[in-house]
Structures are given as structure tokens and as C-alpha cells.
Structure 1
Amino acid sequence: MSNLLALIKGKRQEIAAKRLSRNLNTSKPPLGISYLRVFPNPANPDDVFYQAFGMHFVKTVEAGKEKKVAVLCKSATHDEACELCEGIMEAKAIHKGNKAMDEVISEMRASRRFLMNGTITPTPDITTAEKTELVELPQTVFEDVLKLIEEDMTDEIGEPLSAENGYCFKINRTGSGRDTEYSVSPSRKDGKMAIPAKLMAETHNLLEFANSQFDINKASQVAKAIGAVTGVSIGISSTLSLPATGTDGTAAALPGFSSSTTTTTTTTAAAEAAAEAASVEYKAPEKTILPDPEPPVATPTGEAVNQDDLDDMMKELAAL
């Protein structure tokens, strides 16, 4: 196959994958009891199996009808500067003390969530799942799942992420809105079984899905909607620096995963260092006030001056 033909084939696959990502919906634990099975990284079981994710949702009215516009939050997803977040924080400061406006502005903020490949089923039997789902969890629930995984692996109780010997997590969701509560517990006995090969072959590219949710036009619509409500003008950059999904076999291109553990750690450390540097208040150096210069002083040569020579010099000057 020629290089050109390979490039064309790769580009078509990339376009098709992005189209699929844009039309893909996430799955969330429903009300009541459900069972979550988290899939490991199919290329490397010891590598990352999740992707941070966040969206800005803003209500707007078009032709007399209320609708929601949404776009990816670069801060919640990639720890990058987000013009929308900055505009929202500015609006929050301007309308400080206005409880009604504060509530509206709070709804525009993006909460960090986490994506992973897996299944959500009404029973612990994973074989009842029809397809691999793109599971979306609130950060608090994700933290509970991580805690249980860590405890079981540390105490050698089990291998919850193993494709062969892993098991489900029982999730009980109650309430609604801000009163929603979750409880998470491992289902080590009833939920322990191998993940069907068919489901493991259907894993989604989490990073690709996340990046597909960003669009300049949508970002501009959200910025305009925020401005209409808060009075804050937000400019959207036409250039993006979102991590590339790639197809060159690098960690970022692993199916369903954004980067290797090492890269994630390094990137996080760099982001923290940059944030710390940015938080330091800039202070101009103090101006040093120099004293007025004194008349130049003749520097002695270190040689003694003869008195007779000095008298001759004075006579010559007087004769001028």
C-alpha cells in the first residue's frame, strides 16, 4: 500500500471515528440499584482506564423556545485555560450578593466528571449487557470506586479491574438534583465473572469522545448566551491546544485512553507548577535612588612629585 493510500485510509477512519464520537451518548447510573462493571485498558491492564470530562450547559431562547447549548470545558477536561470559566468567574464577582443571579451563574459552571468503558446493568450478570457503554460518573462516585479498587488490590482481596477475574460495583442512587446521593459497594461474589470478548472489542476512545464535544461555533454560542444573561463579554480563541488522539501507536492513541500513567503524572505536575507560578503576585523591583555624583577626584599615580618641578610648572602657567 502506498503512503498516500495509507494516509487517505487513515483519514477516513479518523473522520468516521469522530462522527461516531459526536453521536455517542454517555450512560449514568439510574435511580435505584444498578451494577457497574469497569473495563480495564484493553491495550495495557496496568494503564489508565478513565478520562476527566466536563461540559458547560447554558439555557437560551430561540424563536420563543427555550433550549440548551453545551460545549466542552477545557479546564475540567484537560486542565487548560477556559475562556468560559474565566467569564463565569467574572460574572460571579460582578453579581456578588445577588442570590438569584448567583444560582443561574452556578448552573453555567462545568463540574468535573469521569468517563470510562464499562457496563451498567440491573443485575450483577454482565452477560446481560448488549454493548459496551461510555459510562459517566460524578467525581464523588468515581472517587468512591477508586477507593474500593485500591483497597481490594492493596489487601489482595480481589482484582476488580481484571477482564478475567474482575467484578461489579453495586451503586444505589437516591434523590434528585442537588439532593442526589450515591452509595457504592463491591459485588465480589455475585458480580465476579469474565468480561465477554465481544464487549472488550467494543471499547470507546475516551479522549476522542471528549475532544469531539468541543466546537468553536458551539463555544461562541455558549459565550453569547452567558453574555446575554450576565452582561460579561467573552472572547473565544480560534486556536485550540487540546491533546491529539493520534493514530501512531503512542499512549494517547491507545483505544479508549488518553495517556500512559507516566505521562499523566508528568502533565499534572507541570500543570500544578504552572498554576503555582501564575498565582504568585507580580511585584515590580524597587527603584534604587543613587546619590548625586561627586566631582571627579584625580587618581594618584603613586609617584612622588618633586617640589622644584612643581615651581617650574607654576612659573610657566603664570607666563601664559
Structure 2
Amino acid sequence: MALSPAMMALVKNARNRYTRGNSKFVKIKEGRTRVRIISTEADGKFWQDLGVHWIKTELGGKPVAVVGCSDLVKDEPCPICTAIEKAMKAAVDDDQVKLVKEWKTKKSVLVKAIIRDGADASPDPQILEITPSTFGSIVSMIEEYGNETDPLSPTTGIDFVITRSGKGLDTEYGVIPALKSDPLTKDQVAKAKEINLLEAIEKEFFKGEETKALNAIGAASGITLAIAPPKRAAGLLTSTVATEDDIPEDPAPRRAAATTAPRTIVEEPIEAEVTEVKTAAPSKAGTTVASTAGAEFGAAVEDSELDSLLDGLDGI
């Protein structure tokens, strides 16, 4: 008996989440790897910069938080970079300086590519992660050959052979154009269009660990970090008068919000001393109202006027 439609949909979602949805980035292995870079973006930009902060609490330890650098990836202010700068200024010894340096952005470049050979070879497009210097070599070759042909053309473009040698800090990469370049198929190009490099980065490295990373930086470096609320929330916390943007769109709530919004009242200063008190003219009822303005009531009423007031009351 076949799976029910509901179960089939559930399984499909799970497959997307735990396989392709994980956005596994392929890295160049040791030796020679032939790759074909695919350009599918309308603006022509076929790469995406990647920056990652690996936050550890001790040298040689495992990362407690892995966060993307919003400055490099999105061209937005990065709170992690700001915290790292503050921690570097507060470092008191060499070990702490080394630890803070490990927090700095690790840079690389992502491209869509067909891996022709090696352990990661596949006929389907994959996300290839390469070093900035390797990408620089590839771009230089694209520029060099660009006067004669289109190196990124699906049909007449060229493959690149990337050679990796050495280990650790001594790792080196070399790039040369391949002697043989197979054309891309329509299916490969169509699948490559479905890959969004920025979305892949956000899914992998912007998973809400910013607060965890900042707390770890503060604890390891001994500095105090203030985690700012979202801009809109911060504005509402400090504002005393509701703005038009804060009033709901529905007419009824808008009127209610407008009438209940707090208002700022400006009071005129009250003089400390009163040097002159004026007496008001008699009213129609024959009474006299004195302006107190800080003086005691009746201070300006003469005896004759008091008698007149009493006579007026008797006549009521």
C-alpha cells in the first residue's frame, strides 16, 4: 500500500530540510579538481561573499556560536565585529589577543559550480566555497579571456582546474584553465537557477545565535556588551508621543489611538514672589474677586469693601 498524500508531503518536506535544505558547501580537496562555474543571475554577479565568526571561549576550544558577518554578507552593521573591536582593546595578555583574533571574520567566496571529478563530483550544480585568493585568480582569467570569448557561457565557456597543496597555514591553491571543457546541459542550468547563494548563507549562518555569541565574547573578555533592541522597538520605548506610523491602519483604532496618545504639556514658570496684587472690578452680583497669584486670599480687600460685601449678602 502506497504512502498517503499527507505522509508523502511530510516526507518530501523532511527530505528538503535535511538534504538540499542544509546548504552544504563544497570545498576544494587536496590535489586537482576540475570545476565549471555557472552564472545565472540577471545582474551578472555569479558569486557571493561569505564571512563567518567562529566564537570560542578558550584557545583550542570548540566554537560555542557560529555567526555570519552581516557587514561582509549583507553590507549591514555587524554587532559581532563591534564587540570584537571592544574586546581587542580590553585584552590584557597575549593569549587573550590570540583568542580575540580567532573571532574575526573568516572570509571566503561562494559560487554555483559543477564539480567534474574527485570525491564531490556530481552532475548536479553545487555550492562551491573557495578562498578569496582563489576566486581572485579565477576572476583574472575570466577578464583575460573575456575579450575573445565568454568564459561563463553554458555552451562555450571554460572549466577551471584548481590545485590544492599543503596543509594548515601552508595551504596553497593554483588555478589554470582546463584543456577540455564540456558544455552545460539545460537541466544543469535550470537547477542552478534554483540555488540562491544569499539564502543559503542566511540558512546556514544567520540562525539567531547573535545573542549567544555576544554573551560568549563578553564572558571571555570581561567586557560589558549592551544588546540593543530592534530599531522600531527602541523608538517606541523612548517616545512620549505616538507618531502616525504607530497608529493602526483601521479607522476606528486610529481614532482611538489618536485620542489616547499622551501629550506634552508646557507650563509657564511661576514667579517666586508676588510684588503686586490687583483687585478685580465688582461683578454683577455685587461681589468682588481678588487675584491671589500666590498671595493669601483676602489680602487685598479693604474694610469698607468688606462691609459692602456683607450688606450684599444680607440682601440675598
Give the alignment's TM-score, normalised by structure 2: 0.60
After superposing the two structures, state which structure 1 stretch, 201-210 or 145-154, moved more: 201-210
1:94 and 2:90 equivalent?
Answer: yes
1:131 and 2:124 equivalent?
Answer: yes
Query: Equivalent residue of 1:118, what SS?
Result: strand
The alpha-carbon deviation at position 199 of structure 1 amounts to 2.0
Find the counterpart in structure 1 of residue 214 from structure 2: 223
The alpha-carbon deviation at position 56 of structure 1 amounts to 0.9
Amino acid at match of 2:72: A
Match of 2:50 among 48, 53, 60: 53
The alpha-carbon deviation at position 186 of structure 1 amounts to 1.1
Match of 2:81 among 78, 85, 106: 85
Query: Equivalent residue of 1:202, what SS?
Result: helix
Query: Equivalent residue of 2:26, what SS?
Result: coil
Find the counterpart in structure 2 of residue 178 from structure 1: 169
The alpha-carbon deviation at position 68 of structure 1 amounts to 4.1
Q: Contact 1:53/1:77 (CA < 8 Å) preserved in 2?
A: yes
Find the counterpart in structure 2 of residue 71 from structure 1: 67
Question: Compared with structure 1, are the counterparts of its residues 222 and 32 closer, same or farther at alpha carbon in structure 2 (3 Å cutoff)?
Answer: same
Give the number of the structure whose alpha-carbon radius of gyration is greater. 2
Q: Contact 1:60/1:67 (CA < 8 Å) preserved in 2?
A: yes
Amino acid at match of 1:59: K
In structure 1, what is the Cα distance between the partners aligned to 2:156 and 2:196?
Answer: 23
Q: What is the aligned length?
A: 215
Give deviations 1:4-49, integer Å, cap 9, x for gaps. xxxxxxxxxxxx98987751111111111111211011x54x6111
Amino acid at match of 2:155: E
Match of 2:104 among 88, 103, 109: 109
Amino acid at match of 2:29: P
1:169 and 2:169 equivalent?
Answer: no
1:206 and 2:202 equivalent?
Answer: no
Question: Compared with structure 1, are the counterparts of its residues 122 and 233 closer, same or farther at alpha carbon in structure 2 (3 Å cutoff)?
Answer: farther
Structure 2 unaligned blocks of 5 or more:
1-14, 233-316
Query: Equivalent residue of 1:201, what SS?
Result: helix
1:170-319 equivalences in 2 (<5 Å) = 170-187=161-178, 189-190=179-180, 192-203=181-192, 204-212=195-203, 213-216=205-208, 218-239=209-230
In structure 2, what is the Cα distance between the partners aligned to 1:134 and 1:226?
Answer: 31
Find the counterpart in structure 2 of residue 118 from structure 1: 113
The alpha-carbon deviation at position 78 of structure 1 amounts to 1.8
Give deviations 1:197-252, integer Å, cap 9, x for gaps. 22222221112112223133x111111222222123334445499xxxxxxxxxxx
Question: Compared with structure 1, are the counterparts of its residues 160 and 94 closer, same or farther at alpha carbon in structure 2 (3 Å cutoff)?
Answer: same
Q: Contact 1:51/1:114 (CA < 8 Å) preserved in 2?
A: yes
- Identity percentage of aligned residues: 26
In structure 2, what is the Cα distance between the partners aligned to 1:39 and 1:49?
Answer: 7
Q: Contact 2:115/2:123 (CA < 8 Å) preserved in 1?
A: no
Question: Compared with structure 1, are the counterparts of its residues 225 and 168 closer, same or farther at alpha carbon in structure 2 (3 Å cutoff)?
Answer: same
Structure 1 unaligned blocks of 5 or more:
1-15, 242-320
After superposing the two structures, state which structure 1 stretch, 133-142 or 192-201, moved more: 192-201
In structure 2, what is the Cα distance between the partners aligned to 1:229 and 1:54?
Answer: 22
Find the counterpart in structure 1 of residue 33 from structure 2: 34
Amino acid at match of 2:133: T
After superposing the two structures, state which structure 1 stretch, 138-147 or 228-237, moved more: 228-237
Find the counterpart in structure 1 of residue 22 from structure 2: 23
Amino acid at match of 1:52: D
Query: Equivalent residue of 1:48, what SS?
Result: coil
Give the alignment's TM-score, normalised by structure 1: 0.59
Q: Contact 1:21/1:209 (CA < 8 Å) preserved in 2?
A: no
For CA contacts below 8 A with separation 6 or more, give which structure has more relative contact order. 1
